[in-house]
């Protein structure tokens, strides 16, 4: 284990809308060590992307409002700087960079790839236009884009989805990012391209000694690549642990439910899947008790009347779970 | 479970081809085509689920549309219950179409936002000419909603008031309104959340048990297709490269593309995942306008030899109906 790179403590963010307060991120804490690959897993609308946008301070305020917590990057609280401060600008995109799901919308359609790469390099490094261009070519080569010199003059629409995602990765490479946040990096891509892009990302992470946060709903993907996993439900973390512990021995009923509802490509064919009944709750007017209660097969009276169960250690290697009735006792 | 070989095929596709012409370039004489589906053949038995998998642009949706005669195929035959429906006049297809229904990927885009649930279902029921009085129709609406496990009170709601899972259930109910014999499901769960996906997949399986409907299930998610289908066809660039029992897709894939596709899908079996052999394909899928000569997969294939560049391999049966199109077996 390396040094702590990012530490998020009790982060809270709500959106104040016409219909009420949406508690998108509700008191979450996690950390990323140097050269570590972690994953945040959850279904759509659980707040996993918003939590990462909050760390990057990309949330529009209002309607968003940070209600508390701290984001310590290398020991400094980023929230104190404010989203428009110079300090945050130098960190965002360089020290910490983000890769989004839909690469077409995160690239500007009216500028060439080269222009966009050069711009980001010139903002973050003190180099001339010419040097920045050459650095851009190098970056494209490092993400295995063939014929990088001509590709620099291409517009995003001239590239395939996989290529565009590589360009975004090249931007993080060019600025020597220390932390890459990949928000559903491969969901929009085809299966074989998915494998290509993620493998490339992982090899770069090793080579550049970067840390990586993967935000996804794909449990197979995190089993393959992540070292530690956080599971999110209705704005809160419900379970966290090393990938091996969490996948082979899930403690929270939600994690277990998720795992048994995904059909597997390996092993015996299941006759019937075991889905989680019901549907995820709306983040407006969440109950004071556990948000998973209406869908939980293990629920007891304690769950309905008690306060929200806190995260507590339930196993080896800091395996934590927020539930009164963890699977397998304790 | 293998469907017995005695049962008659409900659907038989023979040498189906669908070419879309492109605009001629100025001054060029030759007209180019997008060969979306190029010479594919397969059979679907009554009561089974036939899965079609492949990456985007491989022609799986076009195949589905040709089966329903939503597109007029360029060439080939589509036998539905022994009758070729690929070439018959569009007028005589209408009564058959009731038996062939389609379920779409995006349940929101395929439902009229200004129609209530009741009216959406009523429209489909009335088109069948089997139920006439208001009472009969009301009963049928309720029956359909029960079938897809929706609360009958939902009839007064509009699509925007429903969740994704509910909308997909409504899409299924509408498709079932005319008691179809063959359902083409085009990516029916890929827009849904993981926990909801499993609910809909189970619903598909239960409906098949109750009604005996045959499914052609089109999807890109191999794990889902393996779970729901009896047999699976793998497509690449408009060609069918392998057809096999769904048990074989993980245990015994024979085509190099199928192997690569399987190895690209991560699994949640932790200990298996850490030990699996990984095949990473080079490059990307070529454009179907300038598809490679011979076997379409040869530029990315590690086993490719001289003959692969020249000739398209035949579809060979290697036992128990496992068909593979590859020169190097």
Mind spelling out the 3-state secondary structure of chain A? CCCEEEEEEEEEEEEEECCEEEEEEEEEEEEEECCCEEEEECCCCCCHHHHHHHHHCCCCCCCEEEEEEEEEECCEEHHHHCCCCHHHHHHECCCEEEECCCHHHHCCCCCCHHHHHHHHHHHHCCCCHHHHHHHHHHHHHHCCCCCHHHHCCCCHHHCCHHHHHHHHHHHHHHCCCCEEEEECCCCCCCHHHHHHHHHHHHHHHHHHCCEEEEEECCHHHHHHHCCEEEEEECCEEEEEEEHHHHHHCCCCHHHHHHHHHCCCCCCCCCCCCCCCCCCCCCCECCCCCCCCHHHCCCCCHHHHHCCCCCCEEEECCCEEECCCCCCCCC
Put simply, whether B201 touches A (Cβ < 8 Å) is yes
DSSP β-bridge partners for residue B79: B12, B84
d(CA A121, CA A174): 7
Strands A179-183 and A96-99: parallel
Cβ-Cβ contacts under 8 Å for A266 (sequence gap 6 or more): B250, B267, B269, B272, B273, B276
B199 touches chain A (CB under 8 A): yes
What count of Cα atoms within 13 Å lies in the side-chain half-sphere of residue B174? 26
Q: Report the relative pairing of strands A4-17 and A20-33 from DSSP bridges.
A: antiparallel
Cα separation values, A284 from A15, A69, A236, B296, Å: 10, 21, 14, 52
Q: In the prediction, which pLDDT does A290 show?
A: 87
Chain B interface includes A258 (CB < 8 A):
yes
Structure confidence by residue, pLDDT tens digits, A153-183: 999 888 888 888 889 888 888 888 889 999 8
Instruction: Give long-range contacts, CB 8 A cutoff, 24+ apart: A144-150.
Output: A144/A200, A145/A170
Interface A:B, Cβ pairs < 8 A: 128
pLDDT beyond 90 at B154:
no
Give yes or no for B72 touching A (CB within 8 A). Answer: no
Buried/exposed code over A163-175 (b: 16+ C-beta within 10 A; e: otherwise)? bbbbbbbbbbbbb
B264–A194 CB contact, under 8 Å: yes
Q: In CATH, what class is B9-99+180-324? A: alpha beta
- Nearest-Cα distance to chain B for A277, in Å, is 8
pLDDT band, residue B3 (cuts 50/70/90): very low
Position A40 pLDDT exceeds 50: yes
Torsion of CA B237, B238, B242, B248, to 10 degrees: 80
Q: What angle do CA B293, B299, B305 make, to 5 degrees?
A: 80
Predicted interface score ipTM higher than 0.90? no
| Burial class (CB within 10 angstroms; exposed 0-12, middle 13-18, buried 19+) of B31 | exposed
Task: Give tens-digit pLDDT for B199-241.
Answer: 899 999 999 999 999 999 999 888 899 999 999 999 999 899 9
Strand partners, A315: A319
Q: Does A247 touch chain B (CB under 8 A)?
A: yes
Strands ordered across the beta sheet of B316-317: B100-103, B182-186, B214-219, B49-53, B231-236, B239-245, B323-324, B316-317
A307 Cβ neighbours under 8 A, 6+ residues apart:
A288, A289
B200 to chain A: closest CA residue:
A275
Tell me what the mean pLDDT of segment B178-189 comes to.
90
Cis peptide bond prior to A107, omega within 30° of 0: no
Q: Between the CA atoms of A251, A256, A257 and A260, what dihedral angle is there, to the nearest 10 degrees? A: -170
* Residues B130-139, mean pLDDT to the nearest whole number: 88
* CB contact B93 to A (< 8 Å): no
For residue A255, the distance in angstroms to the closest alpha carbon of chain B comes to 11
Model confidence over A230-284: pLDDT tens digits?
A: 999 988 999 999 999 999 999 999 999 988 888 888 877 777 888 888 888 888 8
The answer, yes or no, to whether residue B2 has pLDDT greater than 50, is no
Residue A329, pLDDT score? 67
Q: Write out pLDDT tens, residues A91-128.
A: 888 889 988 887 778 888 999 999 999 998 998 888 89
Could you say which residues from 50 to 69 on chain A have a Cβ atom under 8 Å away from some Cβ of chain B?
none
Please tell me the distance in Å from A221's CA to the nearest CA on chain B.
6
Residue B100 has pLDDT above 80, yes or no: yes
- What string of H, E and C letters represents the secondary structure of chain B? CCCCCCCCEEEEEEEEEEEEECCCCCCCCCCCEEEEEEEEEEEEECCCEEEEECCCCCCHHHHHHHHCCCCCCCEEEEEECCEECCCCCHHHHHHHHCCEEEECCCCCCCCCCCCCHHHHHHHHHHCCCCCCCHHHHHHHHHHHHHHCCCCHHHHHCCHHHCCHHHHHHHHHHHHHCCCCCEEEEECCCCCCCHHHHHHHHHHHHHHHHHHCCEEEEEECCHHHHHHHCCEEEEEECCEEEEEEECCHHHHCCCCHHHHHHHHHCCCCCHHHHHHCCCCCCCCCCCCCCCCCCCCCCHHHCCCCCHHHHHCCCCCEECCCCCEECCCCC
Contact residues on chain A for B165, CB-CB shorter than 8 A: 279
pLDDT reading at B1 higher than 70: no
Question: Which of B205, B264, B273 minimises the CB distance to A195?
Answer: B264
Query: What residue spans in chain B does CATH classification 3.40.50.300 cover?
Result: 9-99+180-324
Is the Cβ pair A191, B261 closer than 8 Å? yes
Quick one: pLDDT at residue A2? 64
B273 interaction partners in chain A (CB closer than 8 Å): 220, 223-224, 266
pLDDT at position A318, please? Answer: 87
Alpha carbon of A22: minimum distance to chain B alpha carbons (Å)? 18
- With b meaning 16 or more CB within 10 Å and e meaning fewer, what string describes A119-143? ebbbebeeeeeeebbebbbebbbbb
B7: confidence class by pLDDT, cuts 50, 70, 90:
low
The whole-angstrom separation of Cα A124 and Cα A176 is: 10
Interface residue A317 vs chain B (CB under 8 A) = no
Residues of A in contact with B194 (CB under 8 A): 43, 217, 219, 258, 261-262
| A154 interfacial to chain B (CB closer than 8 Å) | no
CA distance B172 to B216: 14
């Amino acid at each position: 284990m390396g040094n702590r790179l990012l530490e998020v403590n009790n982060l809270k963010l709500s959106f104040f809308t016409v219909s009420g307060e949406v508690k998108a991120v509700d008191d979450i804490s996690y950390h990323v060590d140097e050269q570590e690959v972690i994953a945040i897993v959850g279904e759509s609308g659980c707040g996993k992307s918003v939590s990462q946008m909050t760390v990057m301070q990309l949330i529009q305020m209002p309607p968003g409002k940070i209600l508390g917590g701290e984001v310590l990057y290398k020991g400094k609280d980023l929230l104190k700087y404010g989203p428009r401060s110079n300090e945050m600008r130098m960190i965002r995109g360089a020290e910490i960079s983000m890769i989004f799901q839909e690469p077409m919308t995160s690239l500007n359609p009216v500028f060439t790839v080269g222009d966009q790469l050069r711009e980001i390099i010139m903002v973050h490094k003190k180099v001339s236009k010419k040097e920045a261009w050459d650095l851009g070519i190098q970056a494209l080569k490092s993400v295995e884009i063939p014929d990088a010199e001509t590709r620099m003059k291409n517009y995003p629409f001239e590239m395939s989805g996989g290529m565009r995602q590589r360009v975004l990765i090249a931007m993080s490479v060019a600025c020597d990012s220390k932390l890459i946040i990949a928000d559903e990096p491969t969901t929009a891509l085809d299966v074989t391209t998915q494998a290509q892009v993620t493998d490339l990302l992982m090899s770069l992470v090793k080579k550049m000694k970067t840390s990586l946060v993967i935000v996804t709903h794909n449990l197979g993907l995190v089993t393959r690549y992540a070292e530690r996993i956080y599971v999110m439900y209705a704005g809160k973390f419900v379970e966290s642990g090393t990938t091996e512990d969490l996948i082979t021995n899930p403690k929270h009923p939600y994690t277990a439910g998720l795992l048994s509802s995904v059909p597997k490509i390996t092993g015996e064919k299941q006759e019937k899947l075991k889905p989680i009944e019901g549907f995820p709750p709306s983040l407006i007017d969440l109950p004071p008790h556990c948000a998973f209660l209406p869908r939980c097969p293990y629920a007891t009276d304690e769950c309905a009347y008690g306060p929200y169960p806190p995260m507590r250690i339930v196993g080896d290697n800091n395996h934590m779970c927020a539930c009164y009735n963890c699977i397998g006792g304790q | 479970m293998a469907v017995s070989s005695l049962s008659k095929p409900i659907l038989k596709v023979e040498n189906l081809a669908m070419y879309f012409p492109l605009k001629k370039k100025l001054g060029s004489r030759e007209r180019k085509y997008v060969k979306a589906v190029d010479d594919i053949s397969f059979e679907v038995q009554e009561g089974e689920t036939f899965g079609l998998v492949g990456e985007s642009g491989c022609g799986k949706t076009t195949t589905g549309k040709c089966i329903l005669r939503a597109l007029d195929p360029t060439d080939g035959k589509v036998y539905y219950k022994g009758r070729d429906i690929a070439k018959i006049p569009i007028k005589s297809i209408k009564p058959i179409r009731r038996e062939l229904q389609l379920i779409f990927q995006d349940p929101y885009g395929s439902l009229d936002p200004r129609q209530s649930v009741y009216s959406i279902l009523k429209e489909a029921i009335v088109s069948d000419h089997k139920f006439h009085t208001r009472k009969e129709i009301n009963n049928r609406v309720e029956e359909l909603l029960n079938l897809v496990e929706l609360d009958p009170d939902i009839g007064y709601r509009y699509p925007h008031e429903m969740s994704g899972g509910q909308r997909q259930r409504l899409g299924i109910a509408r498709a079932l309104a005319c008691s179809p014999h063959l359902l083409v499901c085009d990516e029916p769960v890929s827009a849904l959340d993981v926990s909801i996906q499993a609910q809909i997949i189970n619903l598909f399986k239960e409906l098949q048990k109750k009604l005996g409907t045959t499914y052609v299930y089109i999807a890109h998610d191999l794990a889902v297709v393996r779970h729901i289908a009896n047999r699976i066809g793998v497509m690449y660039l408009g060609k069918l490269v392998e057809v096999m029992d769904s048990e074989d897709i993980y245990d015994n894939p024979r085509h190099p593309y199928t192997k690569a596709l399987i190895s690209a899908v991560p699994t949640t079996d932790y200990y298996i995942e850490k030990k699996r052999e990984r095949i990473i394909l080079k490059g990307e899928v070529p454009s179907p306008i300038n598809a490679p000569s011979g076997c379409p997969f040869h530029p990315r294939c590690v086993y490719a030899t001289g003959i692969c560049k020249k000739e398209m391999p035949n579809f060979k049966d290697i036992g128990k109906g496992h068909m593979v199109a590859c020169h190097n077996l």
